[in-house]
Amino acid sequence: MSAIHEWGVAETARQLASKQVSSTEVTQALIQRCEAYQGMGAFVHFAPELALQSAKEADVRLGAGERAALLGVPLAHKDVFVTKTMPTTAGSRMLAGYKSPFNATVVQRLMDAGAISLGKLNCDEFAMGSGNENSAYSLVKNPWDTSRVPGGSSGGSAAAVAAGLVAGATGTDTGGSIRQPASFCGITGIKPTYGLCSRFGMVAFASSLDQAGPMAKSAEDCAVMLSHMTGPDLDHDSTSLDVAKVDYVAALHQPRLGATADKPLLGLRVGLPSEFFGGGLSVDVNAAVQVALKQLTDMGATLVDISLPRTELSIPVYYIIAPAEASSNLSRFDGVRYGHRAKDYDDLGDMYQKSRSEGFGPEVQRRILIGAYVLSHGYYDAYYVKAQKIRRLIAQDFQAAFQQCDVIAGPVAPTVAWGIGEKSNDPVANYLADIFTLSTSLAGLPGMSVPAGFGAGAMPVGLQLVGNYLNESALLHTAHSFQQATDWHRRSPSLLTPGAAA
């Protein structure tokens, strides 16, 4: 039997259901591993006592014959999902020590399915960043090479799964923050269609873009988690989609019409946007992606050349719309009702200024200023309205592409993970790293990253798959079929000794 930390969500659930191991044993093993590798910075709040108590309760339920899908499986949550029993800081000093009176819907639904939590995972402050270097608490290190970033903003989630600290984790994706860290850390992650997962209880960055999703070792693990994270939540989230829940695990095993055992993707049309394979793509990442595409064709898929002509415009459009929404969302953190309040101030205006200057980090302040600027009188029409019009055109480009293909494939990021501090003084370089993920988010489409090989420095490379609205089943089926024929998702970093990441 493989080591417990090597199990994914689905395998852990199977072992627990068959009573090969108890939830307490699994949780204790993962707690020991988390403690050994705490220097990675993956957790901002580690809750071993709470997790063990939940594991003992899960064992009682398992012993009584209960069969909830995730009963006793240890997960952890990105620190932008509010939780009643643990603090939620969104990686910011502004919310230091904050504890919510309720659970986020995504957290509650996973709990209802029986999952337990080991704690809250580190992230870029208010989910703003591409490298997880903007957390107010600590850097997160990539377990494949601790001198490199894990990606952001869900870097803590990606690092924790890759290092075997948890079976799976929740993440959020505003412009690529599930897919890019999943690629950098060699795990699987999916951003669902906008509105498929409730945003209730998720600390807001950009409300028209933010979306929760699972991060785990495999497509099967993501399917298990996503099946319980989704569903209407109209009483709490007006953007929640009123669509029926889907059993994504069953969709993994639903054969395509006419497919055979050796050609499970027969008839699948895979679109390759020419804009994703231009001069900005590094040679090593392109090589790994090309090998993955060859694997898809060996499994029966057909590659189709397509175009997403406004891909380059996604960067300026995103960095107008997202900061604009952030400046509005973060205005609530003023030191009055909750959040950091400056100790010394002269009047109300001085309190606002000092509290926000002390509570928000440099990247958050930068985006608030950009957002306030593009929404100001005289610039609203020139910037914000124009960006929204181009956003609609970007979405139309995707719909035109889906007339020619079933899924779209390409790289997740132009390069493998870069060194810690390498881009700290160049925010634009960080923004450019999201070139292949932003357009999908602007269009509200589902997208995922699937481990697909290694590039420079033996660092992981992810294959991005993008589907049409509410077509997560096709993405997961494609990814699962690919993972049945490859073992990239089974590779794990060789952390030399406990504490090596310190």
In three-state form (DSSP H/G/I as H, E/B as E, the rest C), the secondary structure along 376-427 is: CCCCHHHHHHHHHHHHHHHHHHHHHHCCCCCEEEEECCCCCCCECCCCCCCH
The pair of three-digit structure tokens given for residue 177, joined into one six-digit string: 């923050």
Q: What is the largest CA-CA distance in the chain?
A: 74
d(CA 23, CA 12): 9
* CA angle (471 as vertex; 470, 476 as ends), nearest 5: 130
By DSSP bridging, strand 460-466 and strand 407-411 are antiparallel
Query: Which positions are annotated as active-site residues?
Result: 78, 153, 177
Three-state DSSP state, 268: coil
Sheet holding 74-78, edge to edge: 43-46, 116-121, 74-78, 168-173, 211-216, 188-191, 447-454, 460-466, 407-411, 269-273, 302-306
Whether the bond into 54 is cis, omega within 30 of 0:
no
Q: Are 152 and 189 in contact (CB under 8 A)?
A: no
- Supply the Cα-derived Rg of the chain in whole angstroms: 21
* Residue 48: Cβ within 10 Å count: 16
Question: Which residues sit opposite 447 in a β-bridge?
Answer: 191, 466
d(CA 345, CA 155): 36
